[in-house]
Each structure stands twice: as structure tokens, then as C-alpha cells.
């Protein structure tokens, strides 16, 4: 094991020891006026990582009958920073969906893939929008990206067409050795023209023979695909990154209708939800003001408390990303929960 030696400088220690005294002195010397405006560092942070941004559809390219690539340019001219593999969340009324960026960091625009056959309101809406349309999106976010401190230099990415966008972004960014295993049962491989020059294995079915032992694995596709690949690989914890492409898999769930009651501050909402839609989808259908970003149980942004009733909190590859305390005190992620009885929730 190699040793890392850190030597401290005496000046640094002295500065640290005097930190509190210097701060009190500066506070006492300052004028007793309230601070107005924003600190420069906060202005820069907002610019690099905006909460929302206005984007214009500058190009709209058809890859197949049901798939398009949209180019999005910022209305104010400045594109916020992102890492290859991250997503932006786009709103359409009370509905929202995350879209992984398939452009690479450093490009002057965002690119996303939209599907007209997706069971997703926002993707269908974007598919029909003409060039020049203006949309609202979140800043880029998400944890599905390569990290040299965490991941190996060689990465195998196993994906389907629904999950290939973040993998293309990673392939373009060239930070590491990437081999893509592109799985498509229909053998159409609609994103093939975007993969020229990259190392790609095209297959109709994934085989674990593709994975050497000394590599990191990124899996991206619908939930059942991610489950299947990760369970066949039997990867030890931490070796695989998983990105679930929306929408959630619901075919095997009962379509029973339940009553959902939501308490939000001093208001109470009552509406129906179905056993084969996520609780968050029922919120959106009924215009309940619930925040959401990733919609796959990762960010915790939609977290709320289950006061009464039973939900199925779905896991993927055995991962339930809620904190231990959340599980103990009945906090759920509505984006990854399906009602199994009448339910009452506090937002």
C-alpha cells in the first residue's frame, strides 16, 4: 500500500488558529448596514448551476419514425456546466421528466433524445414541438457519471436505445476507455449513426461474457433491463452505476383504483390513484404541487411521509435509495412507490 504524506505549513496553522479572532474583528469593523444584493460567489454559483433555465429548441432531427434528437440552446446565451451522464428535468404543465444529455461537456448546446412511443407525457409533447419553441428546464443534475476516484479506467456500458443518451455523452467526453454493449431485441439500433468511431458491440441479447473482471460497469435502460443485467453479473457493491430510463415498468402491477389523500400545509386534496401508476404520476395527473427531479428514487426531491395505507416501494437491482431513517419513519419516494391500498400522505 502506498503512503500519502501531507506536511502542513506553519503559516497555514497560524491562519487557522486566528480564524475566529480575525472574523470577529472584521464583523466589528464592518458598517452596521444590511447586506443588499448577492455575493459574487453566489452569482457565479447560480450561473454555473441554475435551478431553472429557459431553453430554445434550435434543431429537431429525426432518427427514426419514433425517435428524435432535439438541440436546445440557452435563451440567455450561457450554457450551464454539466458532467457527461447528467440529466435536465423538463416540465410540461404539472408533468415533468428527466432527460439525459447526449451532448458532451464543452459543446455549445444540449442535445436530448425524445420518443413518441414513450409512455411519458413530456417526451410526447417535446416530440411535437417545432424549432423555435421555448421550454423551461432544471439545471443539469444526477449521479450517473464517471468519476476517476471511484471508477476504473476501463468502463463497460451496457444499454438499450432508451438508456443510450448518457452513454453517448460519456463516449464523446473521452475521459476513460469505454466499450458500449448496445442491446436491442428488435436489432434496429436507431442510435447507430451517432456511434461512429466508438467501441461498440451490437447484440440482441446481453451476455455476461462481455464483462472483463477489472472494469467498472454502467447499466442504462428500463428498470427490468437494469435488474436483469445486474443480477446476471452478480456485481459486488459499488462496481456498477445504474441509470433507469423512464417510464417506470408497470405491466405486472394490478390496475386497482384507490383513494389518495394528500395533506399539503393547510390544504387537503383527495383523488384517485391506480395500483399500476407511480404515486407521483397520480400527483401530476391531479396537479398536486409536488417537487420532483430524477423520478427514479435517487435525488430524494419528491420525498414525503406516508401517514396511512400501504405502498410498494420498488427497488431496482436490490437498491432502495431511501435513507435508513426514512424507511423506519415511513418516508417514501412517490416516484418509486405504487399504492396497494387507500393512502394518506403529508407533503
Binding site for ligand FES (CB under 6 A): 292-295, 297-302, 333, 335
For the four alpha carbons of 325, 327, 332 and 336, in that order, the dihedral sign comes to positive
Q: Which is nearer to ligand FES, 144 or 206 (CB)?
A: 144
Stated as kind and residue range, the H or E segment containing 69 is: strand 67-74
Q: Which is nearer to ligand FES, 58 or 312 (CB)?
A: 312
Least distance CB 273 / ligand FES (angstroms): 16
Least distance CB 321 / ligand FES (angstroms): 7
Least distance CB 97 / ligand FES (angstroms): 10
Least distance CB 294 / ligand FES (angstroms): 4
Q: What angle do CA 240, 245, 251 make, to 5 degrees?
A: 115
Q: What does residue 69 show for φ and ψ, rounded to 5 degrees?
A: -110, 125
Q: Which is nearer to ligand FES, 222 or 297 (CB)?
A: 297
One-character DSSP codes across 129-159:
PPTT-EEEEEPPB-S-S--TTTS-SEEEEEE
Three cell numbers written together for 198: 466508438
Q: What does residue 10 show for φ and ψ, rounded to 5 degrees?
A: -60, -40
Q: Which is nearer to ligand FES, 195 or 319 (CB)?
A: 319
Least distance CB 124 / ligand FES (angstroms): 20
* Best CA proximity match to 179, nearest among 198, 160, 203, 207: 198
Q: Which is nearer to ligand FES, 201 or 320 (CB)?
A: 320
Q: Which is nearer to ligand FES, 161 or 316 (CB)?
A: 316
Least distance CB 297 / ligand FES (angstroms): 5
Report the distance separating Cα 212 and Cα 17, nearest Å: 51
Amino acid at each position: 500500500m502506498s503512503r500519502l504524506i501531507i506536511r502542513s505549513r506553519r503559516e497555514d496553522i497560524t491562519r487557522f488558529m486566528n480564524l475566529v479572532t480575525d472574523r470577529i474583528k472584521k464583523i466589528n469593523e464592518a458598517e452596521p448596514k444590511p447586506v443588499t444584493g448577492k455575493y459574487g460567489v453566489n452569482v457565479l454559483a447560480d450561473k454555473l448551476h441554475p435551478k431553472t433555465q429557459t431553453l430554445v429548441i434550435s434543431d429537431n432531427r429525426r432518427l427514426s419514425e419514433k425517435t428524435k434528437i432535439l438541440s436546445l440552446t440557452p435563451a440567455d446565451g450561457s450554457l450551464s456546466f454539466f458532467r457527461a451522464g447528467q440529466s435536465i428535468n423538463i416540465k410540461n404543465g404539472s408533468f415533468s421528466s428527466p432527460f439525459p444529455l447526449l451532448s458532451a461537456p464543452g459543446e455549445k448546446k444540449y442535445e436530448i433524445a425524445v420518443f413518441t412511443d414513450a409512455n411519458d407525457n413530456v417526451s410526447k409533447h417535446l416530440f411535437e414541438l417545432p424549432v423555435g419553441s421555448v421550454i423551461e428546464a432544471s439545471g443539469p443534475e444526477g449521479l450517473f457519471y464517471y468519476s476517476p476516484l471511484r471508477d476504473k479506467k476501463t468502463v463497460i456500458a451496457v444499454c438499450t436505445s432508451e438508456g443510450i443518451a448518457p452513454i453517448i455523452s460519456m463516449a464523446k467526453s473521452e475521459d476513460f476507455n469505454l466499450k458500449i454493449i448496445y442491446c436491442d431485441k428488435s436489432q434496429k439500433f436507431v442510435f447507430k449513426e451517432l456511434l461512429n468511431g466508438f467501441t461498440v458491440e451490437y447484440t440482441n441479447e446481453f451476455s455476461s461474457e462481455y464483462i472483463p473482471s477489472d472494469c467498472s460497469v454502467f447499466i442504462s435502460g428500463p428498470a427490468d433491463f437494469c435488474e436483469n443485467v445486474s443480477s446476471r453479473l452478480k456485481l459486488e457493491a459499488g462496481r456498477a452505476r445504474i441509470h433507469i430510463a423512464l417510464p417506470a415498468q408497470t405491466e405486472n402491477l394490478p390496475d386497482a383504483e384507490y383513494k389518495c389523500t394528500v395533506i399539503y400545509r393547510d390544504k387537503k386534496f383527495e383523488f384517485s390513484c391506480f395500483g399500476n401508476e407511480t404515486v407521483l404520476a397520480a400527483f401530476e395527473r391531479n396537479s398536486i404541487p409536488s417537487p420532483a427531479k430524477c423520478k427514479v428514487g435517487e435525488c430524494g426531491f419528491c420525498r414525503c411521509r406516508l401517514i396511512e395505507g400501504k405502498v410498494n416501494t420498488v427497488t431496482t437491482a436490490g437498491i432502495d435509495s431511501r435513507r435508513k431513517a426514512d424507511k423506519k419513519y415511513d418516508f417514501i419516494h412517490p416516484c418509486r412507490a405504487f399504492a396497494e391500498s387507500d393512502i394518506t400522505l403529508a407533503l
